[in-house]
Amino acid sequence: MTRKYSKARSSAALKALSKVEVGQVMDFTSDFPVVIEKASGAAVIDVDGNRYLDMTSFFGAALVGHRNPVVLGAIRRQLGRLLHGMGDVHPPAVKAKFLSKLAKRMPAPDYKGLLSLNGSDAVETALKFATAATKKAGIIAFKGAYHGLTGGALEVTWNPVFRSQFQSTLAGRGRFVPYPTDHETAAKVLEKVEQIASSGEVGAIIIEPILGRGGIKVPPPGFLSDLAKLAARHNLVFITDEIYCGAGRTGTYLASDIEGLAPDVICLGKALGGGMPLSACMMRPWVADAVHGASHEAVHTSTFLGHPIACAAGLGVMQALDKGLAGRAAQIGGLITNKAQEWQQKYPVVLEIRGRGAMIGIEMAPGVASQVVAIALRKGVMVLTEGVSNETLALMPPLVITDRELNRALNIIESAIVESQKSLIIT
Ligand X SMILES: Cc1ncc(COP(=O)(O)O)c(C=O)c1O
Residues that bind ligand X (CB under 6 A): 118-120, 123, 146-148, 208, 212-213, 241, 243-244, 269
Helix (H, G, I), strand (E, B) or coil at 351: strand
Give 241 or 391: the residue with its C-beta nearer to ligand X. Answer: 241
Minimum CB separation from ligand X for residue 406, in Å? 23
| Nearest approach, Cβ of residue 270 and ligand X (Å) | 6
Question: Which of 238, 32, 236 is closest to 134 using CA atoms?
Answer: 236
Q: Which of residues 179 and 244 has its CB atom nearest to ligand X in the complex? A: 244
Amino acid (one-letter) located at 137:
A
Q: How far is the CB of 243 from ligand X (least distance, A)?
A: 4
Q: Minimum CB separation from ligand X for residue 209, in Å?
A: 9
Burial of 23 (0-12, 13-18, 19+ CB in 10 A): exposed
Dihedral sign from CA coordinates of 154, 155, 160, 165: positive
Identity of the residue, 60 or 308, whose beta carbon is nearer to ligand X in the bound complex: 60
Please give the residue whose beta carbon sits closest to ligand X in the complex. 119
CB of 145 to ligand X, least distance (A): 8
Closest approach of Cβ 269 to ligand X, in Å?
Answer: 5
Which residue's CB is nearer to ligand X, number 208 or number 259? 208
Task: Give the whole-angstrom CA distance, residue 148 versus residue 243.
Answer: 10
- Burial annotation 153-182 (CB, 10 A radius, 16+ → b, else e): bbbbbbeeeebeeeeeeeeebbbebebbbe
| SS3 category, 57 | coil
Q: Which of residues 13 and 141 has its CB atom nearest to ligand X in the complex? A: 141
Distance from C-alpha of 398 to C-alpha of 325, rounded to nearest angstrom: 10
Length of the chain in terms of residues written: 427
Identity of the residue, 237 or 375, whose beta carbon is nearer to ligand X in the bound complex: 237
